[in-house]
Structure formats: structure tokens, C-alpha cells
């Protein structure tokens, strides 16, 4: 197991083909695209109708099997809507359960493995889940036609009931007969004018259970009989390892069952969480810091700043920016700094493992089931068929549960194996990361610096744009590197800038990816969170240099992107941009495309008497293709906007001597309810295929607020958070 962990973290990474073979081949291959796997339908012993994405019980319950994790973003409701629409089910009869780890059947068709992320859930499932619902409907109709002796075309379906010629039956009553029929090779989907549920506000399928405090929904709720709890003492500096430890005091404490050493540190196993934590605090550990990261924030900033003066690896180079900047009427130059940020999910990380030497089960809010499944099998040296991943609802993620190394599963597997070896028995063990464990000691959005030089001509057109980015590449050193890093450029560091749709014929962008021991990970909206801030605050400064209105200036440079121009026009109109703001109110605007969705935000701010900023209102224009559940789209924009606002106002992870300074919410201050603005969301009616919505609301809020603050104070905020400038 130790050798395996070393391989995962340190060995040369496989090619893309090799990685896909590792991650999914062991469970039967990949579904790269195409229609839903519906070649098999069967009747369970109780007479239920069972297909990969749809189950129907004799009690008339329709269960939609979600291949995606729902961590609060509403994916389960979206998938339920798609199935219910084509099935003509009653939303009240719909339930959702999470699919097992099986990439052959449940792959994310955009990834080639089973997983949730990149705001892809609806985009890759829109056709697939509708087809599943339509196939089930066709089979129910065929069963009814045979039972009643009528042509299938005479049968109508509405609200979960089949009817024809005075006959009627629920789905449940026809489930067993339908399961015995052949699955149709092709299905006819409804046209948009026939939709009854898509485009409407279907109630969230998870709200009743969550409101009632249902037991067992989240990973933290898992309480198997005979279960134990594990917490791990990890080195405070990344890369440090255990040199020696004294567990005598811990072992004497009430409820402690065992103390074990694994590569990640020293694990205390006890009969409940509190006792495990207390015993961990009693451990005396000497750490070997020979390979630990020892640099603090100041040292990293000094190194990063020096790299801003050196050419990096080219992400994009078109036109002749140097010559055109030399002839510009006005030039703006700016340096930006973005700190490390934690994910700070409401539900701390946790995973329960049961390993008996021959089989293993894991219960957790799994975001990339294929990786988790195969890493669990590899660590325990089991055939993947002997490993099960039970996906639970996630209490937030923002990227934290999607790790390229599946380190949570690997650690749990090692604990399960070590406990079995030590105690000679198999018991369920729940590994819990306290909030301090995760916030103080694990994965973050990378620290990034930017340098930009851009100019405008006498007509107010951007003549040239030079851009340099310095920051850790999230995918460098992972199994994803071979197809996410090109010519030394990690796309996640430059997305939103290198692929901007602004008319910039003379653009050059390069990047440095320094090696730092601090582990980094995608954070809600990933690179867009800092590139959008830079692009959109620079657009405001350039508009000012050109003597133009910020909205008009942007529109003049969006001739080739009508959808981005459309949401900008919509947000400006709904915010009353062309009308004077109320007394004391200052407006700022930003527009950004991310995850193939388009979002514009107009922020209205007021400066408090103490000099801090209060964001009073944000008006949003959104184009994410077909709006499957409009209310959920609004909720995701509100949540994403609030998360982004939290990130710019006060949040910051700093390091001293390689150790993180922050531990919990008192010193890593998230958005307070009093900070949350009034939010208006206006959705563009669209016939385009649905695109992502979980993340696109996050990138524009920072620059929109910064641009409003500049209007109010004349101060341009180029280093975050706002607390550095006395504004929050």
C-alpha cells in the first residue's frame, strides 16, 4: 500500500490512453458518448421494472438513477425532470438514487469516466436521460397495448397513468409486463413545444428529506452497526512525515480502540468522533521535515513576482501586440495578486470504509466514482469487482471532493487495511476530517499573479494586449496532465483569458507554473475566478482610458460573440444602466463566458461610513441554453455569486514557514448573511443545448464589485482580498 501511494503521487503519469485504461478499464470499459445504455431491461423479483437510469416499482414509484453526485447544486432534480418529461410521469412519484460505480454504464460522456464536475452534469445528460425516459414510456405503452388489445397509438400517458378505451393503469401496474419486452432501438423525443416539465420549476427532489433531517443522506450521517471513527494527525507542513511518535497517553483514553501509523500520519481510532479527536490531541509526534515545503507566503510572492519579469510558456500569441501597443493612444499596465483559497465546505470531508480482506465498501460523497473505485481497489490490491462505492449526498464541494489522486479513498483504504491487520477483525471505520484538518492542511485554489499591459487607439479600439500569469498548475503532476497541459501551459491557469471572445487581434499570453509543495485543486469556476477578474477590471480601465461607457466599450469588442453581448445587454437593461443610480449607489459591470455559459452581472454598491463596501444588489443576465429548471438556475447563480463574493471580500490562505496560518471560520471568514446582496436573475430564452450553471455565476461578481468600488472611491483593487485595502 505504501508503494502504491508513492506511485500515485510521485511516479511518471500515464498517457491519456493509459490513464483512461487505469481509471475505467478495470470496470468494463468506457462509454464515451452516444445513447443511454438501455439494451437490457428486467423485472426484479418484486415485479419492478429496471433499466440503467430508470426503475419503476409495483407501488408506482419511479426512481431515477443519478450517475452524478448531487452536492447541493440540484443535479438530481435536473435529471429527474428529464426522465419525468419523456416518461410523462407525475413529479410526485419521482425519487432519485445514486448509481453504483460503473463507468461502462454511467460515464460522464464529456470525461470518459464516471464523475461530476466542470458544470457538465446537465450538458452531458440532457439527451441521455430523456432517451431513458422515452424508452421506458414506449415499453409501458407496448405492455398496455398488449394487455388491452389496442393499438399503441391509441394509448395516452399523463401524470404517471396510461389510458385507452376505458382502460387505465399506473406505471407500477404495468411495470412487470413492460420489463419483459424488448427495449426499443430508437425513440422519438418530444419537441420543445411539447414539453410540460422542462423549462418549469420542478420542486427539488431532495428538499423534503433534508428538511425532515432524514437519517443517512450525507456521508457524515453513515452509522453502520459496530462502526468506529478515525481521525489522522498529519504533518502541519506539506511533505513532512512521521519520524517517531508516543501514543501511550492516547491509548489510555476512554473509547480509544487503536492507534496506527499510515503514510499520511498517525491515526487514532475510537468509538466516537469526539474521543478520537481528544486522543489525537494527546499524541506526541516528531516530524521529519527534510522534504517538507518550508516557504511562506512572503517568499512565494517574491519568487512569483520575479517570474513576472521573465518570459514564460506561450499559451496564445496572435498578431503583433508589441508594435500595436507602441502606437496606442493610451496604455494601461497593472499587476494583480490572488491568494490561495480554501473550499471550506459546510460538510467536512468524510468517508466510511469496511474492509474484510476480500471485499471493500466505501460510503462517501464521491464526485469521481471511477477514480475512487479504482484507487480503492489498487490500494487494497483487490479486483475492482470486489469494491463498491456507495455515493452519498454531498454537503458542498466547490471542487474539493473531486481529486485526481482520490486521496480520501486511499487514506481510508489504508486505515481499513491497517486496522484489519492490527485487530484481526473487520469493522466499519469512518474517517473524519475536522474543519481544521481540511482548511489548515489540505488542497487550495492556487496563488496566482498576473501582469497585463493593454492599449487603446484614438477610436477606442483595443490595439494590443500582453498578459503573463504565474501560478501552480492544478493538473501538473496528476494523471490528467497529458491531456490538460500543452507546451508547458496548464489550461486551468489561463482559461477565460487565452480563449477570450473579446475582439483582441493582437494578444499574447504566457505563463509560469512554479513548483510548490502546497497541494492545489480546482475551486468553483477554477481559473476563471482570477482570469475574469483581470480581464473585466482591465476592460473597465481601458474603457475609461478611451472615454467610453463600460457597457458600450465591451459591446464594441463583442461583435463576434452575440450570446455574451446578449447577456450583457440584458443585465444592463434590467439594472437600468442608462438611468442614474440612486443616491449613494455606484454600479460596476462584468461579463464572462465559462463552462460554455454566458453570465453578465451589474453590481450596485454603497460605501459604509467606516469605509467598507456593502453590495446592495446584483442584476444578472444568464444564457445557459435550454433552462431545464429555471428556479434551480437562479439558485445556482445566487449561490455562485455569493461564493465568489465571499472569496474576494475577506478569504485568504497564507503560509508561514510552510504552515498554513488559518484553521477555521474565525480566521477564514466566509460571507455573512448580512453581506449577501439582493440578486435578480434574468434567463435568456434559448433553444441551444443546455450548458453548465453550477460555476458560471462565480467569476463575474469579483470584477463587477471592484469596478463599482472604483467608481465610488477611485481606487482600483488589484490584490485580493478587499480586507487588504480596508474595504471589508
Average pLDDT value for residue range 158-172: 96
Average pLDDT value for residue range 324-341: 98
Q: Does domain 297-341+444-725 have CATH number 3.30.365.10?
A: yes
Angle between helices 701-713 and 528-546 (to 10 degrees): 40
Nearest-angstrom CA–CA distance, 136 and 154: 17
| Chain centre to alpha carbon of residue 272 | 31
Q: What is the pLDDT of residue 12?
A: 28
pLDDT digits (tens, 9 = 90+) for 295-310: 999 999 999 999 999 9
Q: What angle do CA 248, 253, 257 make, to 5 degrees?
A: 85
Listed in sequence order, the residues at least 6 apart from 373 whose beta carbon sits closer than 8 Å to its beta carbon are: 27, 101, 384, 387, 389
Nearest-angstrom CA–CA distance, 467 and 505: 14
Average pLDDT value for residue range 494-517: 98
Q: Which CATH number fits domain 31-211: 3.30.413.10, 1.10.357.10, 3.20.20.20, 3.30.365.10?
A: 3.30.365.10
* Residue with grid cell 397513468, as numbered in its chain: 161
Q: What is the pLDDT of residue 42?
A: 59
Average pLDDT value for residue range 84-99: 97
Q: What is the widest separation between alpha-carbon atoms in the chain?
A: 82
| Chain centre to alpha carbon of residue 304 | 27
Domain borders along the chain are 31-211, 219-290+349-432, 297-341+444-725
- Domain 219-290+349-432, architecture per CATH: 2-Layer Sandwich (3.30)
When pLDDT is cut at 50, 70 and 90, the band that residue 30 belongs to is very low
Domains 219-290+349-432 and 297-341+444-725 share a fold: yes
pLDDT of residue 27 exceeding 50, the answer is: no
When pLDDT is cut at 50, 70 and 90, the band that residue 40 belongs to is low
pLDDT of residue 15 exceeding 70, the answer is: no
Q: What is the pLDDT of residue 45?
A: 64
When pLDDT is cut at 50, 70 and 90, the band that residue 44 belongs to is low
When pLDDT is cut at 50, 70 and 90, the band that residue 43 belongs to is low
Nearest-angstrom CA–CA distance, 255 and 432: 16
Amino acid at each position: 500500500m505504501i508503494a502504491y501511494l508513492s506511485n500515485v503521487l510521485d511516479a511518471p503519469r500515464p498517457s491519456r490512453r493509459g490513464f483512461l485504461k487505469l481509471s475505467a478499464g478495470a470496470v468494463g470499459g468506457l462509454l464515451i458518448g452516444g445513447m443511454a445504455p438501455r439494451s437490457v431491461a428486467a423485472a426484479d423479483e418484486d415485479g419492478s421494472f429496471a433499466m440503467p437510469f430508470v426503475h419503476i416499482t409495483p407501488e408506482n414509484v419511479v426512481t431515477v438513477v443519478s450517475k452524478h453526485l448531487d452536492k447541493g447544486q440540484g443535479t438530481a432534480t435536473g435529471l429527474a425532470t428529464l426522465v419525468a418529461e419523456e416518461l410523462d410521469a407525475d413529479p410526485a412519484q419521482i425519487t432519485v438514487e445514486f448509481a453504483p460505480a460503473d463507468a461502462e454504464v454511467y460515464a460522464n460522456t464529456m470525461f470518459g469516466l464516471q464523475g461530476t464536475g466542470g458544470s457538465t452534469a446537465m450538458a452531458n445528460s440532457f439527451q441521455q436521460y430523456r432517451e431513458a425516459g422515452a424508452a421506458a414510456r414506449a415499453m409501458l405503452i407496448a405492455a398496455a397495448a398488449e394487455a388491452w388489445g389496442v393499438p399503441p397509438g391509441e394509448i395516452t400517458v399523463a401524470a404517471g397513468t396510461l389510458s385507452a378505451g376505458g382502460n387505465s393503469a399506473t406505471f407500477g401496474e404495468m411495470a412487470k409486463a413492460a420489463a419483459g419486452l424488448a427495449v426499443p432501438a430508437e425513440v422519438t423525443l418530444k419537441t420543445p413545444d411539447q414539453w410540460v416539465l422542462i423549462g418549469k420549476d420542478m420542486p427539488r427532489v431532495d428538499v423534503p428529506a433534508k428538511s425532515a433531517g432524514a437519517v443517512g443522506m450525507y456521508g457524515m450521517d453513515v452509522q453502520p452497526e459496530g462502526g468506529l471513527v478515525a481521525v489522522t494527525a498529519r504533518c502541519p507542513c506539506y511533505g513532512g512525515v512521521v519520524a517517531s511518535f508516543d501514543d501511550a497517553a492516547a491509548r489510555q483514553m476512554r473509547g480509544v480502540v487503536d492507534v496506527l501509523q499510515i503514510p499520511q500520519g498517525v491515526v487514532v481510532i475510537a468509538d466516537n468522533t469526539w474521543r478520537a479527536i481528544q486522543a489525537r490531541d494527546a499524541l506526541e509526534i516528531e516530524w521529519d521535515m527534510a522534504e517538507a515545503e518550508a516557504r511562506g507566503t512572503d517568499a512565494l510572492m517574491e519568487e512569483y513576482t520575479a517570474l513576472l519579469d521573465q518570459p514564460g510558456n506561450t499559451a496564445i500569441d496572435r498578431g503583433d501586440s508589441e508594435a500595436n501597443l507602441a502606437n496606442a493612444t493610451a496604455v494601461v499596465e497593472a499587476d494583480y495578486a490572488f491568494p490561495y483559497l480554501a473550499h471550506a465546505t459546510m460538510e467536512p470531508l468524510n468517508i466510511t470504509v469496511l474492509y474484510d480482506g476480500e471485499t471493500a465498501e466505501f460510503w462517501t460523497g464521491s464526485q469521481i466514482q471511477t477514480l475512487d473505485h479504482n484507487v480503492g481497489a489498487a490500494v487494497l490490491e483487490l479486483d475492482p469487482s470486489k469494491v463498491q462505492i456507495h455515493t452519498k449526498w454531498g454537503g458542498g464541494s466547490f471542487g474539493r471532493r473531486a481529486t485526481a489522486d482520490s486521496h480520501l479513498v486511499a487514506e481510508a483504504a489504508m486505515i481499513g487495511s491497517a486496522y484489519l491487520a492490527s485487530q484481526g477483525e473487520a469493522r466499519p471505520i469512518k474517517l473524519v476530517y475536522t474543519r481544521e484538518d481540511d482548511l489548515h492542511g489540505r488542497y487550495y485554489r492556487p496563488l496566482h499573479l498576473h501582469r497585463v499591459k493593454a492599449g487603446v487607439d484614438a477610436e477606442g479600439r483595443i490595439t494590443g494586449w500582453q498578459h503573463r500569469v504565474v501560478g501552480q498548475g492544478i493538473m501538473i503532476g496528476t494523471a490528467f496532465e497529458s491531456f490538460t497541459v500543452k507546451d508547458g501551459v496548464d489550461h486551468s491557469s489561463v482559461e477565460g483569458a487565452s480563449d477570450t471572445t473579446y475582439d483582441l487581434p493582437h494578444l499574447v499570453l504566457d505563463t509560469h507554473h512554479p513548483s510548490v509543495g502546497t497541494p492545489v485543486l480546482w475551486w468553483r469556476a477554477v481559473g476563471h475566478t482570477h482570469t475574469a477578474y483581470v480581464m473585466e477590471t482591465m476592460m473597465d480601465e481601458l474603457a475609461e482610458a478611451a472615454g467610453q461607457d463600460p457597457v458600450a466599450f465591451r459591446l464594441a469588442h463583442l461583435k463576434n460573440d452575440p450570446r455574451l453581448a446578449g447577456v450583457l445587454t440584458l443585465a444592463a437593461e434590467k439594472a437600468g444602466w442608462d438611468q442614474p443610480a440612486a443616491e449613494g449607489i455606484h454600479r460596476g459591470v462584468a461579463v464572462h463566458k465559462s463552462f460554455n455559459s454566458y453570465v453578465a452581472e451589474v453590481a450596485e454598491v454603497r460605501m459604509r461610513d467606516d469605509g467598507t463596501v456593502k453590495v446592495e444588489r446584483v442584476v444578472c443576465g444568464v444564457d445557459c441554453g435550454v433552462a431545464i429548471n429555471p428556479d434551480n438556475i437562479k439558485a445556482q447563480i445566487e449561490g455562485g455569486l455569493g461564493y465568489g463574493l465571499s472569496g474576494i471580500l475577506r478569504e485568504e490562505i497564507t503560509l508561514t514557514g510552510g504552515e498554513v496560518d488559518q484553521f477555521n471560520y474565525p480566521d477564514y471568514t466566509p460571507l455573512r448573511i448580512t453581506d449577501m446582496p439582493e440578486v435578480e436573475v434574468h434567463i435568456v430564452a434559448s433553444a441551444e443545448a443546455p450548458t453548465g450553471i453550477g460555476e458560471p455565476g462565480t467569476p463575474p461578481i469579483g470584477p463587477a464589485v471592484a469596478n463599482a468600488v472604483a467608481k465610488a472611491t477611485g481606487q482600483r483593487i488589484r490584490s485580493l482580498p478587499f480586507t487588504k485595502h480596508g474595504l471589508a
